[in-house]
Structure 1
Amino acid sequence: MGAKYGTGVLKQEIVKIYNSINQEIFGIGIKSQRIEVVGDKVFIFATHKRIPALKILDADHRSLTASVDMLLMEANKRMLKEQLERQLGLEVLSVFKDYDPKTEHSGTIIVFAESVDA
């Protein structure tokens, strides 16, 4: 799709999918995001809004909220891979994601089977 539709269209489609998954999982949208496409990789840098319940629990129960964060990221990565492949018809090899609950920043790297850069 990258070469077929252009990088701009690909970025827009990825952003739509990324945001819809975040809405589905967290019920909260993304504050901001930046997306870059380089060859077979897409980099997404985003600022999220922390789930209020987890934010409250972070101070006294960080080990618990860290486990919940990890499980939510795993679900997010799985859903992102599935929806990118289904909606864009592109094979995704890997999705990497990390999240910092204090700054509410996340980084996501999507590795496709082939270059998506126009």
Structure 2
Amino acid sequence: MSALDSHSPGTHSLGQFKQELIKDYNEINHRIFGIGVVRQKVDVQGDKILIVALHKRVPSLAYLNALNSNVSELADHYLIKGFKNEFKQLLVEKYGFEIVSIFKDYDAQAELSATVVLLQRDVRDYL
């Protein structure tokens, strides 16, 4: 059962789920980077959740990139890895999702990220 309310599974709207997920994603992003996202969109297609987000680049990472792009790319890699771990834990504990994999990439120049969550079953089966 999801955390949206205490009713039986299947009674939640996809729209409610997306709104709650937007808040969750932003909260984790804020906790890790100290900055929330500027804008994000959640799409659901069967057993896949796609989140595209516009971020504001963390100033220290932008500065680090100017000094040494290899070091900033490494920092981005580990920050994304940490985000994926926290996001997966939330998806399992809060929504009861059975996760196959989470893919995430970030384009620092465009300040855009894409996250794809692949589930065992259709998202609606969990709601």
Q: Same fold (TM over 0.5)?
A: yes
State the SS of the aligned residue for 1:34. Answer: strand
**Larger radius of gyration between Structure 1 and Structure 2:** 2
Structure 1 stretches of 4+ with a deviation exceeding 6 A read none
**TM, length-normalised to structure 2:** 0.87
- The one-letter code of the counterpart of 2:46 is G
Partners of 1:4 and 1:48 lie apart in 2 by 32
- The one-letter code of the counterpart of 2:38 is K
After superposition, residues 4-19 of structure 1 pair within 5 angstroms as: 4-19=11-26
Moved more, 66-75 or 15-24: 15-24
| Alignment gaps of 5+ in structure 2 | 3-8
**TM, length-normalised to structure 1:** 0.93
Partners of 1:16 and 1:111 lie apart in 2 by 20
Q: Which residue of 2 is the match for residue 49 of structure 1?
A: 56
State the SS of the aligned residue for 2:50. Answer: strand
| Alignment gaps of 5+ in structure 1 | none
Displacement, 1:9? 1.4
Partners of 2:99 and 2:44 lie apart in 1 by 14
State the SS of the aligned residue for 2:97. Answer: coil
Displacement, 1:3? 4.1
Aligned residue pairs, count? 118
Q: Which residue of 2 is the match for residue 69 of structure 1?
A: 76
